[in-house]
Amino acid sequence: MLAFLLTSVSHVRAFEPAIALDPPRLAQAPEPLCFCWNDGRKIAEGAAACIRTTQGRRLAQCGRVINMMSWQVTETPCPES
C-alpha cells in the first residue's frame, strides 16, 4: 500500500508546472562609486584636496586601501589663495 501511495504522489508531481525561479544574479554587485569626505564635501577617488592635518593644511589624494577609502597625505602644504 505504501509503495502505491509513493508512486502515485510522484506521478502527480511529475505533471505539475515548473515554478519560475528568480533571474540569475551577478556573483558580485557592481562596483559602487567611492568617495572620500573633506569638510562635508565628497571628493572622488583619485582626486586631490587640501585637508586639515596636525601639521596644518596639506594636499592629499583620495585613494583606496583594501576596501576602505582613505586620504594619502603628502608633505606639500596647500597653496595660499
For 2-36, how does the pLDDT look when each residue is reduced to its tens digit (9 = 90+)?
555 455 555 555 667 777 776 766 666 555 578 99
pTM over 0.75: no
Q: From the CB of residue 49, how many other CB atoms can be counted at a distance below 10 Å?
A: 19
Q: 54 is written with which cell numbers?
A: 596636525
Torsion sign across C-alpha atoms 56, 57, 63, 67:
positive
Length of the chain: 81
Instruction: Report the percent of the chain where pLDDT is more than 90.
Output: 43
Q: Is residue 37 a contact partner of residue 43, using CB atoms and an 8 Å limit?
A: yes
Q: What angle do CA 9, 20, 10 make, to 5 degrees?
A: 10
Q: Is residue 46 a contact partner of residue 62, using CB atoms and an 8 Å limit?
A: yes
**pLDDT averaged over every residue in the chain:** 79
Bridge partners of 72, per DSSP, are 61
